[in-house]
């Protein structure tokens, strides 16, 4: 008989973790809805034709693939076995587990575009699965919380994402955070300007290290990454941007000759302007022209959120993509979205001790069970407590009180009602506060009034 174990990179969530995670999910969901996003859920697995080729070569590898049911090998010939596992996979597997929430969303939009009210604002809170090597903070099953708007290119959507983050994060207790914002068009403009078209990626990776390694080392790295001396010279203004009094003005002075770059700056300025018009006081937003994520799909705004004061990566990211559904044959649907990383947010709240107390959904009161008579008395009390909306239980067995109290303790039940012969005689039951140890005699109605 083998000891059972969890599959590598997966977790059980017990009551305490569930309560904490639900605090996060419920908060996020409430604000998603406050902003007009509607819920969507898609299946755990999709046809591989939907998933493959959407996440690059590495993503294809990291997709969990489901073996075809029944005799998957019956139609295979000897040559199929010898072709290598990649072509073989396509012959014995047709389905894969959801890798993110964006591609299933795009699939849903394409399949339902005749009936969806556009612009379509949806949120989706579901697990995704990746066959990554598990390590601290990286799991093979984890939740994503996404909100996206598709079918409009209004920059109001970008501004609303900023406001949404400023509602959700403080409500979770995270008050010290930074929303970094960039625009893909600015990156394209810079690359064009320095004669390094299409090299936005390596450019940003290097510049991003400025604070850590200094200007000289960044320039060395750029040389190593194949940037010409001339490109690096032309890049000089980027190092002064963060110190500029008006970074937008500095950017405009620098990128004036790049139409794309100037459009990016204009979009960024409009987001700042709309955030201001929406009345957000002291927005925690920061222009970061080195912010580069999702370069293969983001075409406008790029977002990333860091919780300050903790050594935990970004807790949220997103951006605008102009061709979400193009891969499914429906081009021209622009959208913008944000994704919140629940596991990282959980770690931040744990590290900063920000989870509210008493978040468990546990029983509020337990009735003790001394003997058959007290048990039957308890049976008559129990439904009254529940009818009053109180989570209540009666210990099912007549065992030693210590064992019953120990149970209540381990389950974090704050109150225990002791029912003995005195109590049954007088109708005044002993309410024990498990935290303070205080006991007092109260009628059932008074107990309800006290703890409801």
CA gap 218, 406 in Å, rounded: 60
Which residue, among 405, 440, 181, has the nearest Cα to 293 in the 3D structure? 181
Question: Which residue of 27, 91, 113, 119 would you call a contact of a copy of itself, by CB under 8 A?
Answer: 119
How many other β-carbons are positioned within 10 Å of the β-carbon of residue 324?
A: 25
Q: What is the DSSP letter of 138?
A: B
Task: Please return the burial class of 162, using the count of CB atoms within 10 Å of its CB with bins 0-12, 13-18 and 19+.
Answer: buried
| Residue 300 β-bridge partners | none
Task: Provide, rounded to whole angstroms, the least separation between the CB of residue 174 and a copy of itself.
Answer: 19
Is 354 assigned a ligand-binding role in the annotation? no
Question: Which residue of 74, 135, 216, 353 would you call a contact of a copy of itself, by CB under 8 A?
Answer: 74
Nearer to a copy of itself, 313 or 331 (CB): 331
Residues 417/381, Cβ–Cβ less than 8 Å = yes
CA gap 219, 200 in Å, rounded: 15
Is 113 assigned a ligand-binding role in the annotation? no
Residues 194/269, Cβ–Cβ less than 8 Å = no
Task: Provide, rounded to whole angstroms, the least separation between the CB of residue 419 and a copy of itself.
Answer: 14
Q: Is residue 10 within the footprint of a copy of itself (CB under 8 A)?
A: yes
Q: Is residue 198 within the footprint of a copy of itself (CB under 8 A)?
A: no
* Cis previous bond, 127, omega within 30: no
Nearer to a copy of itself, 76 or 249 (CB): 76
Task: Provide, rounded to whole angstroms, the least separation between the CB of residue 90 and a copy of itself.
Answer: 11
Rg (CA), the chain: 29
Residues 162/275, Cβ–Cβ less than 8 Å = yes
Q: Is residue 266 within the footprint of a copy of itself (CB under 8 A)?
A: no
How many residues in the shown chain lie near a copy of itself by CB under 8 A?
Answer: 109
Q: Is residue 95 within the footprint of a copy of itself (CB under 8 A)?
A: yes
Residues 158/149, Cβ–Cβ less than 8 Å = no
Helix (H, G, I), strand (E, B) or coil at 65: strand
How many other β-carbons are positioned within 10 Å of the β-carbon of residue 84?
A: 9
Mark the segment that binds a copy of itself (CB under 8 A) among 42-50, 247-255, 293-301, 350-358: 42-50
CA gap 416, 89 in Å, rounded: 58
Task: Provide, rounded to whole angstroms, the least separation between the CB of residue 155 and a copy of itself.
Answer: 9
Which residue, among 64, 66, 69, has the nearest Cα to 99 in the 3D structure? 64
Task: Provide, rounded to whole angstroms, the least separation between the CB of residue 426 and a copy of itself.
Answer: 21
Is 100 assigned a ligand-binding role in the annotation? yes
Nearer to a copy of itself, 163 or 354 (CB): 163
* Residues in region 159-188 near a copy of itself by CB under 8 A: 163, 167
Mark the segment that binds a copy of itself (CB under 8 A) among 111-119, 175-183, 226-234, 293-301: 111-119
Is 139 assigned a ligand-binding role in the annotation? no
Residues 49/89, Cβ–Cβ less than 8 Å = no
Q: Is residue 36 within the footprint of a copy of itself (CB under 8 A)?
A: yes
* Residues in region 213-242 near a copy of itself by CB under 8 A: none
Task: Provide, rounded to whole angstroms, the least separation between the CB of residue 54 and a copy of itself.
Answer: 11
Instruction: Give the DSSP per-residue string, 266-292.
Output: HHHHHHHHHHHHTT-SS--EEE-TT--
* Residues in region 144-163 near a copy of itself by CB under 8 A: 149, 152, 154, 156-157, 163
Nearer to a copy of itself, 266 or 295 (CB): 266
Task: Provide, rounded to whole angstroms, the least separation between the CB of residue 202 and a copy of itself.
Answer: 28
Q: Is residue 405 within the footprint of a copy of itself (CB under 8 A)?
A: no
* Residues in region 351-380 near a copy of itself by CB under 8 A: 360-363, 366, 375-376, 379-380
Is 102 assigned a ligand-binding role in the annotation? yes
Nearer to a copy of itself, 224 or 445 (CB): 445
Residues 276/282, Cβ–Cβ less than 8 Å = no
Q: Is residue 254 within the footprint of a copy of itself (CB under 8 A)?
A: no
Nearer to a copy of itself, 65 or 185 (CB): 65
Report the run of H or E that residue 97 belongs to, with start and end. Answer: strand 93-97
Q: Is residue 452 within the footprint of a copy of itself (CB under 8 A)?
A: no
| Residue 298 β-bridge partners | 321
Is 31 assigned a ligand-binding role in the annotation? no
* Residues in region 318-337 near a copy of itself by CB under 8 A: 327-329
Annotated binding residues? 100-102, 130, 144, 148, 293, 297-298
């Amino acid at each position: 008989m083998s000891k059972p174990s969890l599959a590598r990179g997966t977790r059980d969530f017990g009551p305490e973790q569930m309560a904490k995670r639900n605090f996060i999910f419920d908060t996020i969901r409430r604000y998603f809805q406050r902003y007009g996003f509607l819920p969507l859920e898609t299946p755990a697995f999709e046809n591989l034709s939907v998933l493959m080729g959407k996440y690059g070569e590495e993503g294809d590898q990291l997709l969990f693939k489901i073996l075809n049911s029944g005799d998957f090998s019956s139609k295979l010939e000897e040559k199929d076995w010898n072709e290598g596992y990649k072509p073989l996979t396509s012959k014995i597997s047709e389905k894969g587990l959801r890798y993110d929430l964006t591609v299933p969303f795009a699939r849903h939009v394409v399949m339902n575009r005749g009936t969806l009210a556009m612009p379509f604002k949806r949120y989706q809170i579901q697990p995704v699965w990746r066959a990554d090597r598990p390590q601290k903070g990286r799991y093979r099953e984890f939740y994503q919380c996404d909100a996206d708007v598709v079918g409009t290119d209004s920059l109001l959507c970008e501004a609303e994402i900023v406001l949404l983050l400023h509602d959700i994060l403080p409500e979770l207790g995270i008050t010290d955070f930074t929303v970094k914002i960039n625009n893909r068009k600015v990156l394209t403009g810079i690359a064009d300007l320095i004669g390094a078209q299409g090299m936005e990626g390596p450019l940003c990776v290097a510049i991003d290290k400025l604070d850590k390694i200094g200007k000289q080392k960044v320039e060395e790295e750029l040389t190593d990454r194949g940037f010409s001396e001339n490109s690096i010279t032309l890049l000089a203004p980027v190092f002064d941007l963060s110190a500029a009094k008006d970074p937008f003005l500095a950017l405009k002075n620098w990128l004036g000759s790049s139409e794309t770059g100037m459009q990016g700056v204009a979009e960024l300025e409009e987001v700042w302007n709309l955030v201001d018009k929406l009345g957000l006081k002291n927005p925690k937003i920061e222009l970061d022209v080195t912010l580069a994520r999702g370069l293969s799909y983001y075409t406008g705004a790029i977002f990333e959120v860091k919780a300050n004061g903790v050594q935990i990566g970004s807790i949220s990211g997103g951006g605008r993509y102009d061709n979400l559904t193009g891969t499914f044959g429906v081009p021209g649907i622009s959208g913008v979205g944000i994704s919140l990383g629940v596991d990282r947010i959980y770690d931040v709240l744990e590290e900063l001790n920000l989870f509210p107390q008493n978040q468990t959904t546990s029983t509020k009161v337990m009735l003790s069970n001394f003997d058959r008579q007290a048990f039957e008395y308890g049976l008559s009390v129990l439904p009254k407590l529940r009818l009053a909306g109180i989570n209540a239980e009666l210990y099912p067995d007549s065992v030693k009180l210590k064992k019953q109290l120990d149970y209540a303790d381990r389950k974090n039940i704050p109150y225990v009602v002791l029912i003995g012969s005195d109590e049954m005689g007088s109708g005044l039951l002993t309410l024990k506060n498990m935290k303070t140890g205080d006991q007092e005699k109260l009628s059932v109605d008074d107990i309800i009034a006290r703890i409801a």
